Amino acid sequence: MGRLYIQHLSGEKIFKCRFCRVDSASHDDISSNEFRGRYGLAYLMTRVVNISIGPEEQRHLSSGLHTVNDIYCSSCQQLLGWRYEKAYEESEKYKEGMYVLEKERTLRDGW
């Protein structure tokens, strides 16, 4: 087994994993900050780093049926949100490849 590679993000506004404090995402990559996750409010992100991706699942969300993968912190394995693999409604297609990051599971360090 190799050593876990942790990517460090540059910039002043970085979201970190609430549990182990590795970098998760940059404020610059927020697509929406009024999104609903499983634990309440969430961010819709174009990029999240230091994650491992769970198996594909069909999930009924408030916006309809989607194929999603849960995302986990690659350092501590805590659930952070999910990734949209596929949307079936035309109006939801823009979410494909984007990530939902649960506010409750992220930390804003020093900002």
Interacting residue ranges for Zn ion, rule: CB under 5 A = 17, 19-20, 73, 75-76
Q: Considering the complex, what minimum distance in angstroms separates the CB of residue 16 from Zn ion? A: 8
The nearer residue to Zn ion, 19 or 85, going by C-beta atoms, is 19
Q: Considering the complex, what minimum distance in angstroms separates the CB of residue 105 from Zn ion? A: 9
CA separation for the pair 9, 54 (Å, rounded):
23
Task: Give the bridge partners for 35, in sequence order.
Answer: 42
The nearer residue to Zn ion, 15 or 35, going by C-beta atoms, is 15
CA separation for the pair 91, 9 (Å, rounded):
31
Q: Considering the complex, what minimum distance in angstroms separates the CB of residue 108 from Zn ion? A: 15
The nearer residue to Zn ion, 58 or 78, going by C-beta atoms, is 78
The b/e string for 23-61 (b: 16+ C-beta within 10 A; e otherwise) is: bbbbbebbeeeebebeeeebbbbeebbbbeeeeeeeeeb
